[in-house]
Amino acid sequence: MCQEVADLDTFVSCVAENNITRENEVFVSKTIARLTSNHKDVSSMNIIKVADILEDLVTTGDPTNEIATNIVTTVNNILQVDQTTFNEVEDNSPSRIVQALESYTTALQLTGAGNFTETQKSVTVLALTLPISSRPSGFWFATLRNPDAPDKLTKNDTAIRHEPDELLETDASIFLPAETLQADTNGDTVNISVFVYQNSKLFRSPTLRANESPGEFRRSTGSRIIAATVEGVQKDKLSSPMIAKFEPININDESETSEGYECRSKCVYWDFSLNNGFGDWSTKGCKREMDSEGRIVCVCDHLTNFAVIVDIYGRSSVALDVISKTICGVSIVAVIVTVGTFLAFKKFRSKRPQRILLSLCFALLGMYLFFLAGIEASPCGVSCGIVAVLIHYFTLAAMFWMAVEAVNLYLLLVKVTNANVSHFMIKASLAGWGLPLLVVIIILAADYTQYSDNKHCFLKPGNAFYFGLLLPIGLVLLFNFVIFALVMRTLTCQAKYMGSKSTRQQTVQRLQNAVAISLLLGLTWIFGLMSAIKASTFAFQLLFAICNSAQGLLIFLLFCARQREIREAWLPFLRRIPNRLYRRSDYVSSARETTRMSTINNSTSAPGTSMSLSRLSTGTGSICVPTDDDVGDSFSGAISTDLKN
């Protein structure tokens, strides 16, 4: 027989070596509750032994309120053990603790011992026998929201509530419809057990543990956990659906954001049979809704432990945001200047290559503007989907116009015979603007929800992202580089047949520009793919942001700043700016001098003497002179001029 000891390791080892009997079950339950109260001393091995002890208590003797209270206290103590200790538990003992608590409570009700209620800091248990007729619609069980102690459960927090008014200040609630109770139970009363857990430490999900790195994407329980069992009712076959409502928990870590909570949350229940008996969260048989108060509503066709899991993302790096938005802003200005240049000078847009370039610039401009305007908007609602669609469309359009430029080079240099295509720009526009639209329409028709990745307003990683974005981009890049290889071979092998030296230089320059832009686009989406596969990798995100945002700047440098004709066209306008600034500065200086002279005159004139300055215009300038003949000698030389020397 194990004696009264002060060491948890010694006691659980002793109990493991000796059977729990009717004579010692009260002592064992009381001692284990006392020794686990010092939760800092509880090890992962202790958690496993505690699960064994609680299971033995369920099968030993007749249940009593005293032992039930000790079991609830023990479970509460285990729930306060540090998370790192739970991470070291390698078996399904946490799930076994939950099952032991529920089994003992159900067995207690069968003894007819009356109602049982026990609330601890981290767990609450209600075991009630209720008349079905007292609630014609069904029973609501709810835990009240306690702003003074949001991190713990308090006495009288959990009770039967009425819908809807009394549920407005609750954190978690569960509704058992009367139809289910009347159809699946016999008699006028029903035994109902309700369990509320403050945290999810006993619900060790492999799915959630795979995303626990701080500062990165992770999936976490976003509510308290509430469960209900009804005597005589099969948990997985309810005649009417059960409803659970949850108030989203606050995410206090400043490095994380819960924006768009309702879009990133899922209703789940704990399935003890998953993961080879270890248990895991499942969404089967549950659907999520939202009510007018912003609470998560879960409608499920079975009874078990319910919760809400939410996807949490680390806040974007400030440096990454600043770099990407700055470069993107510079690229927008560069693209606007490029477009303005070709629109301002008709001679620069008269040829086919320049018109292709203008279309490419418009596509990039649309992509940049919608990227800055809406990609970080709330990932909910129609507006986010519209932004995602437009970014996707303009991204594909930019790629297809690069393909059009490659085709144009091919027709010019490789396919010399029959190279003249009638209505080329009309056909190119149908391809450059029409094919991206076709891809977007197909994705919208198949599954419009693909246009929100729950963090940004863009395609979520998946089939739509891979086949609707990366695949077209990859095919276009492959096509472009094949064309470029053919063009380079033509330039190398048939240079003497290509006309004058200047013509060859222009062709080589066009090829260089096209290759440079294609390489940048290729690198952009290689880094984008790496970022999608390895989420939140800062290096790939930074490289993707820089390459994606620098495309407009590169186009300006290659097609404007590098072109001598364009520089010469802008030169007369640029020369006027210093002259205008000079004349403006000269005029301001003259006005200041006039004001100074007027001030001197007013302060030194004799009493009764008046003097004013008038500005005399001459053919070469203007002179400011006094108009009164009584000016003293001190003003004889005080004439200010702004004549040009």
The per-residue pLDDT for 605 is: 45
Residue 28 scores a pLDDT above 60: yes
* Residue scoring higher pLDDT (587 or 644): 587
Q: Tokens 């099968």 correspond to what residue? A: 59
Closest CA to 48 of 19, 23, 15, 18: 15
The per-residue pLDDT for 442 is: 95
Question: What's the average model confidence in pLDDT over 546-552?
Answer: 77
The boundaries of the domain holding residue 530 are: 318-569
> Which pair of structure tokens corresponds to residue 397?
């359009």
pLDDT bucket at 519, cuts 50 / 70 / 90: confident
The per-residue pLDDT for 81 is: 92
pLDDT bucket at 599, cuts 50 / 70 / 90: low
Question: What's the average model confidence in pLDDT over 306-317?
Answer: 61
Out of 6-20, 371-385, 405-419, the most confident range is 6-20
* Residue scoring higher pLDDT (533 or 287): 287
The per-residue pLDDT for 33 is: 92
Question: What's the average model confidence in pLDDT over 90-106?
Answer: 91
The per-residue pLDDT for 608 is: 44
The CA distances from residue 501 to 495, 505, 506, in Å, are: 9, 6, 9
Q: What is the DSSP string of 243-296?
A: EEEEPPPP---TTEE-TTHHHHEEEEEEETTTTTTT-EEE-TTEEEEE-TTS-E
Q: What whole-number distance in Å separates Cα of residue 49 and Cα of residue 201? A: 17
Question: What's the average model confidence in pLDDT over 436-456?
Answer: 85
pLDDT bucket at 593, cuts 50 / 70 / 90: low
The per-residue pLDDT for 217 is: 47
Looking at residue 553, which CATH number applies to its domain?
A: 1.20.1070.10
pLDDT bucket at 610, cuts 50 / 70 / 90: very low
Question: What's the average model confidence in pLDDT over 126-152?
Answer: 76
Single-letter code of the amino acid located at 413: L
Q: How many domains does the chain have?
A: 2
- Domain contains 606: no
Q: What is the DSSP string of 201-212?
A: TTS--HHHHTT-
* Residue scoring higher pLDDT (64 or 205): 64
* Residue scoring higher pLDDT (23 or 417): 23
Mean pLDDT of the chain: 75
Q: 605, exposed or middle or buried, with CB in 10 Å at 0-12, 13-18, 19+?
A: middle
Least confident interval from 13-27, 265-279, 281-295, 494-508: 494-508
Looking at residue 42, which CATH number applies to its domain?
A: 1.25.40
- Domain contains 276: no
Q: What whole-number distance in Å separates Cα of residue 68 and Cα of residue 476? A: 68
With H, G, I as helix, E, B as strand and everything else as coil, classify residue 108. Answer: helix
The CA distances from residue 255 to 314, 318, 470, 525, in Å, are: 6, 11, 31, 27
Question: What's the average model confidence in pLDDT over 307-321?
Answer: 62
Strand partners, 597: none
> Which pair of structure tokens corresponds to residue 358?
């203008």
The CA distances from residue 236 to 5, 87, 557, in Å, are: 43, 30, 66
Question: What's the average model confidence in pLDDT over 299-307?
Answer: 81
> Which pair of structure tokens corresponds to residue 209?
């543990």
Q: How does pLDDT run across 164-203, given as a tens digit for each residue?
A: 555 556 778 888 887 767 655 566 788 888 899 988 889 8
Q: Buried b / exposed e across 309-323, counting CB within 10 Å, b at 16+?
A: bbbbbbeebeeeeee
The per-residue pLDDT for 390 is: 92
- Residue 100 CB neighbours (<10 A): 24
Q: What whole-number distance in Å separates Cα of residue 68 and Cα of residue 47? A: 18
Per-residue 3-state assignment (H helix, E strand, C coil) for 336-405: HHHHHHHHHCHHHCCCHHHHHHHHHHHHHHHHHHHHHHHCCCCCCHHHHHHHHHHHHHHHHHHHHHHHHH
Residue 334 scores a pLDDT above 70: yes
The per-residue pLDDT for 65 is: 92
- Domain contains 636: no
The per-residue pLDDT for 614 is: 38
Closest CA to 514 of 399, 414, 436, 367: 399
Closest CA to 76 of 16, 135, 34: 34
Question: What's the average model confidence in pLDDT over 364-392?
Answer: 79
Last residue of a domain, one of 110, 129, 149: 110
Last residue of a domain, one of 535, 569, 603: 569
pLDDT bucket at 621, cuts 50 / 70 / 90: very low
The per-residue pLDDT for 531 is: 63
Q: How does pLDDT run across 223-239, given as a tens digit for each residue?
A: 788 888 887 676 666 77
Residue 525 scores a pLDDT above 60: yes
The per-residue pLDDT for 613 is: 36
With H, G, I as helix, E, B as strand and everything else as coil, classify residue 305. Answer: strand
Residue 163 scores a pLDDT above 60: no
Q: What whole-number distance in Å separates Cα of residue 529 and Cα of residue 477? A: 15
- Domain contains 103: yes
Question: What's the average model confidence in pLDDT over 79-94?
Answer: 89
Question: What's the average model confidence in pLDDT over 524-545?
Answer: 66
The per-residue pLDDT for 397 is: 94
Strands across the sheet with 296-300, in order?
158-161, 138-144, 170-177, 242-246, 296-300, 286-290
Question: What's the average model confidence in pLDDT over 572-586?
Answer: 61
Non-local CB neighbours of 499 within 8 Å, separated by 6+ positions: none
Q: What whole-number distance in Å separates Cα of residue 440 and Cα of residue 389? A: 7
The per-residue pLDDT for 375 is: 59
> Which pair of structure tokens corresponds to residue 530?
């790496």
* Residue scoring higher pLDDT (587 or 24): 24
pLDDT bucket at 77, cuts 50 / 70 / 90: very high
pTM over 0.75: no
Closest CA to 550 of 538, 542, 539: 542
pLDDT bucket at 639, cuts 50 / 70 / 90: very low
Residue 620 scores a pLDDT above 80: no
> Which pair of structure tokens corresponds to residue 446?
């198949």
Residue 258 scores a pLDDT above 50: no
- Domain contains 94: yes
> Which pair of structure tokens corresponds to residue 498?
């290509």
Peptide bond into 164 cis (omega under 30): yes
Least confident interval from 21-25, 230-234, 331-335, 559-563: 230-234
* Residue scoring higher pLDDT (504 or 571): 571
Last residue of a domain, one of 516, 551, 569: 569
* Residue scoring higher pLDDT (272 or 166): 272
Reported as type and span, the H/E element at residue 554 is: helix 551-556
114: phi > 0 → left, psi -120 to 50 → alpha, else beta; which?
Answer: left
Residue 450 scores a pLDDT above 90: no
